[in-house]
Amino acid sequence: MTLRILLAVVMAAIPLVTGPLAARPAGQAARAGGPLEITSSMMVERRSAAADGTTRVTLVKPTRVSPGDRIIFVLAYHNVGTQPLSDVVLANPLPRAIAYRSASPGSPAPEVSVDGKTYGALAALRMPALDGSTRAAGADDVTHVRWRIATPLAAGAQGQFAFQAVLK
């Protein structure tokens, strides 16, 4: 059994999803175990002129987002239980108004999907073309992102994943 957490990214709500969720303790069959707390948030890049003439980029909580703005989605997780959790998969569907761009610097690249069913590296995914053939999928085709935590998540362990997107 795999713990799958689907997060709906709604730009008006920050944090987007928070709270304890049941997961399978490592080494145990389908018995519920310690909770996994998830928090999803969104930041936008704001550019300003620095005193030395360079452009300074800062991440801020959005008050207003316009088409073309670069958005950083952050998905933080924390095992608040007393047992390790295994087979943790965090999946995030993207709203239609969001165009995936890449993993954020310092974050592992997510697996991506163009249909919500098949996941992999973007370069390996294909899309149906208008003439009935297939074409290589592009970043604008991504509909879902997900991360797998490969090793059991120890009690008290926490971390985060992040990806960059653009408001269409």
Report mean pLDDT in 10-residue bins for the chain, 168 residues.
39 32 37 71 88 89 89 94 91 92 94 95 94 95 95 95 94
What is the rounded distance in angstroms from the CA atom of residue 64 to the CA atom of residue 31?
44
pLDDT for residue 110? 96
Q: Considering only CA atoms, which of 142, 167, 162 is closest in space to residue 62?
A: 167
What is the rounded distance in angstroms from the CA atom of residue 59 to the CA atom of residue 61?
7
Q: Considering only CA atoms, which of 46, 59, 48 is closest in space to residue 104?
A: 59
What is the rounded distance in angstroms from the CA atom of residue 5 to the CA atom of residue 3?
6
- The domain segmentation of the chain, as residue ranges, is 3-108+148-167
pLDDT for residue 93? 93
- pTM exceeds 0.85 for this model: no
The C-alpha torsion from 50 through 54 and 59 to 62, rounded to 10°, is: 70
Q: What angle do CA 95, 97, 98 make, to 5 degrees?
A: 70
The pairing of strands 126-128 and 20-22 is: unpaired
